Every structure is written in C-alpha cells, then in structure tokens.
Amino acid sequence: MLPIVAADPYLAPHSDFFHDIHALAEQTEQRLLKGHSSLADFATAHEFFGMHRTDTGWVLREWAPNATAIFLIGPFSNWHKQDRFALHKQGGGIWEIMLPADTLRHQDLYRLLVEWQGGCGERIPPFARRVVQDNHTHIFSAQVWDPPTHFQWQVPTFKPTLPLFIYEAHVGMAQEAERVGTYWEFKEYILPRVIAAGYNCIQLMAVAEHPYYGSFGYQVSSYFAPSSRFGTPEELKELIDTAHAKGLTVLMDIVHSHSVKNEVEGLSRFDGTLYQYFHDGGRGEHPVWDSRLFNYGKDEVLRYLLSNVRYWLEEFKFDGFRFDGVTSMLYYDHGLGRAFTNYDEYFNGGIDHDALVYLTL
C-alpha cells in the first residue's frame, strides 16, 4: 500500500488509481533518465539552448523541428535576414549558430525569423533570459544580458524557517503609488512591512515575463526571463538576497498550467505548428483563459518545464514554488463546474495522467 493511501483511509477506494499513477511516474522517470544520471541532470535544457557566451564568442541554439530555416535578426542585421546570421540545422530539430565575440554586446536586442513550409514569422527565443518592450512601438525583443560584473550573493545558501507564514505579493502592484513598482522599491519598502507584520515568507507573483500586464503575470510568454517591467535580473536577485538576509523564505508563483497565445512573444506556433509545446486542436486551448495548454506527454515539454524549475532555483535562489492552475492541469474539463466536495469528485475520471505525472516528478 502506498504511504498516501495508508495515511488516509478515505482514499482506500481509489488505491488502484494511485498505484497506476505511481507506476506511470516511475516509467516516465526511467524513460527520461536514459543518458542522464538524474532528473536534475535531465533538467538542463537552459544550459544548452538559448543565447550563451563562449570562450570564443557566442552560441545560440533552439529547438524547432518544423522549421525550414531560422535567422537571427537585430540591429546588427538591420532587422533583416542575412545568410551570415542563419542558424544551422543539427539534427533532432535543433538549430545552432556560433558568432564572433564582437557580433553582440550587452543589451543588444534580437529576435528570430523562423521559416516553415508555407509561412514565416518573427519570434522571441523560448529560452531568452531577458525580454524588453520598446516604449514607443511596444514591440517585445530578446535582449543580450551580459553585464561586466556578476551578482555577488551575500547569502549563498538559505534554510527556510518552518512553518511558513506566507505573504503573497505582486512586485508591480505592491506600491501605493499609481504606477508599476520595481524590484528595488519592493526590497526597500515592502520587505520591512512584511517582516513587521510577522511573516517569514513571501510568495512573488508575476515574475516571468508576460506581454499583458493586466493578466497579473498569469499569461506567461518568456519562461526564463524575469519581467523587465520591474527592473533588471540583478535587481531581482538583490531583492531575494536581501529577503534571505532578513530571514524570509522566497517562493515563486510559477505558471506551468498554460501559456499566452501570442505568437511573436510566446511559445505558440514557434516553429509554425500549434503542437510543438502544446496539444493540437481543442485540447490545446483553454476555454476560459484563452490560452494554450502544454502537452505534458512530450519529453521535450517535460524537459523545458523541469529545466525552468531548476533555472529559477539555481539562478535566482528561489526557495520553492506555488504552482498556479493545478486544477486546470489535472482535469480535461479544467475543473470548471466542479464543486470538489468529496473525494469521489476528485477521482471520477477525466484526469490528465500526463499532467499528474509531471507534477509528481
């Protein structure tokens, strides 16, 4: 008997379900571990894909199996495709370009021009770590982020104090001023208030980049880019470092339940298909949120999302996560119209086993 069933006798009628999910999770983990020493080793896509500085220059890699050509565009190409900025297909849907060191500079803007059979479109790389919006055109672009000095953590390791007393906050909306607040202002003015109120943990909303501010950060477009509306990546790190120095645990409200439909800014139709990261057809669209739904049954999607989890833990030292929209992930009907007043309503069918396995991993 699984421990979860042994701990709650009311789950006994559903023990077969838990055994099936447990077995499926083990099978999935074994499949993902082929060629990898652990799930943590599997979750390293962000170290391979995206824009990275090398000893000799730059390398950009992206996964776009349906693409027929990809070009890096930016001020360096006058925002037009040029053969010398063409990515080269490497196999397995992977595209790559290596560039001399003097091609790109810190804060340079760039996008990708992706071509596929019968169409093309400008796209922001899915692994971009910095995305900014032009104040005049309102166009989003990826931005090279390679500051001359790296952030120095004052609290390199942190151990949360339990139990957690959690203060949920939105960096941009936590200020009393009628404007978008910043990471720096949150650090200076909100952290002291949180501590004075007796909390020992903050849960930050709207961290990952999102094109529509009114979504409160829940229509994510760039999963590896902290929102530039609030400041720089270093300023977010300073916020978290300061919180840790004051004894505060920092959780991230992470959105892996759905993704924005925007095609230029987001993952949707990145390589010309609707099914690269998401389900095709009606199952790939949320009927209420007007957003795209991940296909948790694809290994590439699992690697993208698990790598995203690892990235926020290691790069920014978040202490954990609150996963948004779990009910929507778990049920084909997204839990709409369900009251969930007893266990039978949780286990009466319509459960997305792939999503549950992802959350189990």
Residue 348's pLDDT is 85
What token pair was written down for 239?
A: 């916020």
127-174 confidence digits (pLDDT tens): 999 999 999 999 999 999 999 999 999 999 999 999 999 999 999 999
Which has the minimum average pLDDT: 222-231, 256-265, 328-337, 343-352? Answer: 343-352
What token pair was written down for 125?
A: 């790389």
Sequence-ordered strand ranges (E) for 1-91? 50-53, 57-63, 67-73, 88-91
- DSSP character for 206? S
Question: Is residue 60's pLDDT more than 90?
Answer: yes
Phi, psi of 279 (to 5 degrees): -70, 145
Residue 312's pLDDT is 98
| pLDDT bucket at 349, cuts 50 / 70 / 90 | confident
| CA atoms of 137 and 19, how far apart (whole Å) | 54
Average pLDDT across the chain, whole number: 96
DSSP string computed for 225-239: EE-GGG--HHHHHHH
Instruction: State which H helix or E strand residue 338 sits in.
Output: none
Mean pLDDT of 52-58: 96
268-326 confidence digits (pLDDT tens): 999 999 999 999 999 999 999 999 999 999 999 999 999 999 999 999 999 999 999 99
Residue 29's pLDDT is 97
**Residue 278 near residue 284 (C-beta atoms within 8 A):** yes
Question: Is residue 196's pLDDT more than 90?
Answer: yes
**Residue 85 near residue 73 (C-beta atoms within 8 A):** yes
78-106 confidence digits (pLDDT tens): 999 999 999 999 999 999 999 999 999 99
List C-alpha distances in Å: 19 to 11, 168, 206, 250, 332. Answer: 12, 35, 36, 34, 21
| CA atoms of 232 and 319, how far apart (whole Å) | 20
- Cα diameter, the chain: 66
Residue 6's pLDDT is 93
Sequence-ordered strand ranges (E) for 145-254? 166-170, 201-205, 208-209, 222-226, 249-254
Write down all domains in the chain, each with its CATH number in brackets.
Answer: 50-143 (2.60.40.10), 166-360 (3.20.20.80)
| pLDDT bucket at 182, cuts 50 / 70 / 90 | very high
